[in-house]
Structure 1
């Protein structure tokens, strides 16, 4: 039976379980780790198959990590990764733990800042299931001989130096890991297909049957798949690949075919947080579809307040014009109202009508009318009197995406544990709502991965 696991890299991605999107309130005196919840704690559905934690993120007992405060680092080493990540409950026992050194975070340094001693201590005290050897990332990649010929010689020389460091560390790491409690992964780096094949072969010669493919996060999908196809022909039959930091989920069937049994990525979360994307699994097509979540900026946020401060005359003109064109249903005719009050009333009207639309007490047209009015007064592009036709077309297209998202009400049919709290918990608005939307995306991707894996195994059975 084929296998494919999705690992989620830990970057302290917490949300406040007490957050209320309607009132925009949260836990008083909120403390991120103590009060926050991990994705697997807040979702009703499976969030991921495993979590990946980096030494560079956590740090050592002597060296501060990128994300962890010293107190958290000490707690991590004292209790281990499973306890620290709150995976020690029975319902989370099947979630695996993988550790790596976090080479992406020190890519600019001449050599890795950690020792193999520190890495092994991290894995042992963390009680990881899998530990990845100490590597030094290689980013230049030539997909074929023509591209290789154009690669500058200094880049090739530096790549070779880093590959040598990675393989030398892998040899010592493998030998020492044989008496450890975790299973060892070697890291294959390369700047060409041949150099990747060489790395894989050398790692297999050391004894590795678990190998991560590193440094390909910037590669184009066809180049990645072409590399994996070659590696699948060259590898030992028992060797399993893990893709480091990259998982373009639509290619899971190809990954499985080429011997990839796991991958890690923060992409679903980040697409929700920064891209405003909301994922939906279309069960008819077995594909993940992306919608652009409607955006409601916070009136009291610095960005909106700065906009008001710098654009009062323009905003006044827009409100007057929208009023004349009957583009909102509230009364803003009182000349004593400040611009802050006008914007705030438009925000409140927008939110109230969307909540009412969600419950069915207001029709879509009235809700979308209020939404458009608030968007036009808080999006600086609408306030530009010299806006080009190209920009107007972009805004119109974006508004159509918002319209589709609101009209389809996808969140109403989702039982992930976040969406069923209502639209104001997944709207494009604040860190809490954006992060929740990203966590929802994790559950969708994991469900999609499970379906894809079943299809592959069913097809294997038929053959």
Structure 2
């Protein structure tokens, strides 16, 4: 039976369930974590098959973690991962927990800041299903000799780089041997980590891990690689992979490639990409009822006028913005009256923001006056986006800006959020705008729901025909 699990890394990506983007209201006396919901709590269907938690993020009782405050670290060790992450309800029984050391977070250090024993204590007290051995990440990866030559041409010392990479690979393999021996006494299943700077070193790592006894191996350090490099590496590793060895891709999952992953022996991967594409990239995913391929739209952006970034923009370009707003008014590029010279630049921009939000909310509720809504949206964008200022608007910028305007209009016209039943979109357009941290994170959580639907459909299509017929 074909299987492919998607793990979502825990980075405290939760939201206030009572947030309302129409007036930015939230839980009264809001307390992060206590009042917030994880994606699996706020969405109607499971947005992942498992969660991955890093020791570097949580920390130990003696060493501060990157993401967790001391109080949360103590709660994590006291409650265990499943209860802390609120996965201890029957409906989450099949959600797996995977732990790793978080090597990316200490990649600049000479040695890993943790010991094998500290890592095992983390997995044991956390109650993890799977635990990944202590590794030291290797960058960069060279797909061939030509890539190494290009590196040399830049003036970098490749011999020192390879020497350092070999040192890190040796640390990783040494720790893997110790970890495998000690992990036999605990309930979690052990994963080894394969690192390399080229195909040969990766192949050597996989072979040595298998000789130690590992049949679950993570492929690390490829997060910066291109798709063709990753797929080519997996094909090469297939030549030495034992039939019962399963690969996990650490920190990387390009969901279009799931069939190729499965063919190469990859049974799981973890990634924050769908959430980050929404949170920082302004992307909104959709998946038609009978479609397998998800689509990406660019959600409309309405910057917060009172936000520090917009206020700095106003202070920096105050004189130009005064003339810019006057010109936009004369050209009828917005539908409110800003001809009163007594209005400050801040007041003008605030009124344009309120007009834009009012029309977006009305369009969300009625589906009427698309052109009028887009007009208000673009007018506000032109006074809050530095690239639209006359002194900055070059011919090379004009094309991308126009395309963004077209994408905004297409997103609104499609009104996909109105038919989505993920558990986020029912709150309306104002809850998924590219605007506040709460709305941005909600959009990312919506993307998790869509990408998991896509993943499930692809995996189902890969099942043997007889299984599908049943």
If the TM-score is normalised by the length of the shorter chain, which range does it land in?
A: over 0.9
Match of 2:161 among 155, 158, 172: 155
**SS of structure 2 residue aligned to 1:323:** helix
Counterpart of 2:363 in structure 1 is 357
Residues 1:361 and 1:414: Cα distance change in structure 2 (over 3 Å):
closer
Residues 1:390 and 1:239: Cα distance change in structure 2 (over 3 Å):
same
Structure 2 Cα separation of the partners of residues 444 and 300 of structure 1: 32
Tell me the CA shift for residue 339 of structure 1.
2.2
Counterpart of 2:189 in structure 1 is 183
Structure 1 Cα separation of the partners of residues 465 and 397 of structure 2: 48
Note the alpha carbon deviations across 1:157-205, whole angstroms, 9 max, x for none. 1111111111111111111111101000000111121211111111111
Tell me the CA shift for residue 459 of structure 1.
5.2
Moved more, 255-264 or 409-418: 409-418
Matched, 1:217 2:229: no
Matches within 5 A, 1:254-333: 254-333=260-339
Contact 1:353/1:362 (<8 A) preserved: no
Counterpart of 1:26 in structure 2 is 26
Note the alpha carbon deviations across 1:67-123, whole angstroms, 9 max, x for none. 111111110000100011011111211111000001111111111110111000000
**TM-score for both structures, normalised by structure 1:** 0.96
Tell me the CA shift for residue 149 of structure 1.
6.4
Contact 2:460/2:468 (<8 A) preserved: no
Tell me the CA shift for residue 10 of structure 1.
0.4
Structure 2 Cα separation of the partners of residues 125 and 300 of structure 1: 45
Matched, 1:2 2:2: yes
Structure 1 Cα separation of the partners of residues 145 and 318 of structure 2: 59
Tell me the CA shift for residue 386 of structure 1.
5.0
Note the alpha carbon deviations across 1:186-245, whole angstroms, 9 max, x for none. 001111212111111111111111000011111111111011112123111000000000
Counterpart of 2:115 in structure 1 is 115
Contact 1:245/1:264 (<8 A) preserved: yes
Residues 1:145 and 1:346: Cα distance change in structure 2 (over 3 Å):
closer
Counterpart of 1:91 in structure 2 is 91
Matched, 1:47 2:53: no
Structure 2 Cα separation of the partners of residues 420 and 208 of structure 1: 45
Residues 1:344 and 1:247: Cα distance change in structure 2 (over 3 Å):
same
Match of 1:207 among 213, 216, 220: 213
Residues 1:225 and 1:383: Cα distance change in structure 2 (over 3 Å):
same
Q: Which runs of 5+ in 2 are unaligned?
A: 152-157
Number of aligned positions between the proteins: 463
Contact 2:192/2:218 (<8 A) preserved: yes
**TM-score for both structures, normalised by structure 2:** 0.95
Q: Which runs of 5+ in 1 are unaligned?
A: none
Q: How large is the Cα RMSD of the aligned pairs?
A: 1.7
